[in-house]
Amino acid sequence: MNNKKKYLDYLHYKIDKQKNNLELAFASKNSNGDVVWSKWINYVDAQSDKYFLSKVNNRTILPNEVVIDLEEPEKFSEVIKKINEDFTHFLAYKTGSKGYHIHLFFKYEIPIKTKLNIIKRYGADEQKAIKRCMIALENCPHWKTGNIKEIINYIK
C-alpha cells in the first residue's frame, strides 16, 4: 500500500497541485459474480483510512489530464505513433483488462470540449472526457482480471 499512497500523493500534490479533489473507489466481484462498487471518497478524506486505501483500485481523471482509453489492442501502435508526434509527454499503460490507457497531463485544466476533441482524434472512448469518470488505478490489480495496470511506454 505504501507505493499506492506515494502514487496518489504524487497525483494529488504534484500533478493536480491540490486544486481539485481526486476521488477514489474500489470495485470487486461478490460471491454471485456481481460487480460491487464502494462509495467514491475524496483522497483528502481517505488518506487516514488504511483499509479503504488498501482496497482502492480506481480513481477519477484529473481536470488537467486527458485519458486516451483504447479498448481495441490492435489500434495501440497506430495511436501511440500519432500521440508521439502530437505530444512531448505521455504515459501509456496496459490496463490489466483488454485495453490501454494513454495519459496526457497538462499544467492547466482542460475544458471538457477540448478533452473530447483530443479523445476523438485518436478514436478512443469519449466517456473519458466527462467531469467525473473512474479509471483503473495505476500499478494496481484490475478489478475484473486481477492483472496489474502497468506502464508500457512513456515519453517525459
Each of the 156 residues of the chain gets a pLDDT tens digit; together they read 568 999 999 999 999 988 888 999 999 888 898 999 999 999 999 999 999 999 999 999 999 999 999 999 999 999 999 999 999 889 999 998 889 999 999 999 999 999 999 999 999 999 999 989 999 999 999 988 889 999 997 665
**Cα gap 104→90, rounded to integer Å:** 5
Whole-number pLDDT of residue 84: 92
**Cα gap 60→121, rounded to integer Å:** 22
Whole-number pLDDT of residue 90: 93
Cell (9 digits) for 14: 504534484
Whole-number pLDDT of residue 1: 52
Cα diameter, the chain: 46
Whole-number pLDDT of residue 156: 57
Whole-number pLDDT of residue 128: 97
Which domains does the chain show, CATH number per domain?
Answer: 2-155 (3.90.920.10)
